[in-house]
Homo-oligomer: A and B are copies of this chain.
Amino acid sequence: MKKERISNNVIRRLPMYLRKLDDLMAHSVDRISSNELGRLMGFTPSQIRQDFSCFGEFGQQGYGYRVPELREQVARILGMTQGFTAVIVGVGNMGHALVKNFGFDASGIKLTAAFDANPDLIGKEMDGVPIFDAATLPEWFAENPTDIAVLTVPSSIAKNMAKTLADCGVKGIWNFTNVDLELENPEVRVENIHFSDSLLYLGYIISESENEKKAKTR
């Protein structure tokens, strides 16, 4: 693997490649050219070749990419084979929705526990995931070092909880709160979910198509 720093834009595209490759495998497609993959994904073939070349040479001139092998490499690069573990902190509506409907396994991540302060939830299980008292987080982490915390607590306690999790030695926080966590510990990586980015994009493509319709009838 090449040692150069890979650009953020390439990394952000890798999950999209993964989804498309999974889709191709589900349709028993065994090999694909950069032309065809580009057409399916709306990228130029040279963009595709350039993205994959960052990680070494997967394709063969005139043959294309072997889909299962490429999928395996993309998954490996994304850290999906590292056996990362995760806990969910906050079992309100969002935490609930994630435990029940989001396939952590599909991302190669094992969801081991959930935490909440609600006595009605503590001690229960949700889809096989035990719910523990949030106050016991530090003790639990001492026994069960965990890579990722999914933060789905109310905004009002987000910063405090993030600090607790950082102190517990978590490596990454997947932040569903609308709060900028501003952690002092630079070792802890934070990834914010921005729902609005996706909604605004939808708003853009709707207004674009409205404008095109108006232009045609002018």
Interface string of A38-70 (1 = CB under 8 A from B): 000010000000000000000000000000000
Let me know if A205 and B187 touch, CB within 8 A: no
Let me know if B79 and A15 touch, CB within 8 A: no
Let me know if A201 and B191 touch, CB within 8 A: yes
Let me know if A172 and B202 touch, CB within 8 A: yes
The answer to whether the Cβ of A112 comes within 8 Å of any Cβ in the partner chain is no
Given the known inter-chain contacts A194-B19, A195-B102, A206-B79, please indicate yes or no for A200 contacting B14, CB distance below 8 A.
yes
Let me know if B11 and A204 touch, CB within 8 A: yes
Copy tally for this chain in the complex stands at 2
> A17: shortest Cβ distance to chain B, in Å?
10
> A9: shortest Cβ distance to chain B, in Å?
8
Let me know if A92 and B82 touch, CB within 8 A: no
9-residue interface stretch from A103-111, A114-122, A132-140: A103-111
The count of residues in chain A whose C-beta lies closer than 8 Å to any C-beta of chain B is 59
The answer to whether the Cβ of A164 comes within 8 Å of any Cβ in the partner chain is no
- Which one of B12, B108, B178, B195 contacts A203 once the chains associate, using CB atoms below 8 Å? B108
Let me know if B11 and A203 touch, CB within 8 A: no
Interface string of A167-211 (1 = CB under 8 A from B): 000011010001000000001010101111111111111111110
Q: Which residue of B lies closest to A82 (CB)?
A: B207
Chain B contacts for A9, CB-based, 8 A: 9
Given the known inter-chain contacts A78-B204, A82-B207, please indicate yes or no for A93 contacting B100, CB distance below 8 A.
yes
Known: A148-B203, A174-B198. 14 other contacts (CB 8 A): A9-B9, A12-B197, A15-B197, A19-B197, A93-B93, A93-B94, A93-B96, A104-B199, A109-B199, A147-B206, A171-B210, A172-B203, A172-B205, A189-B202
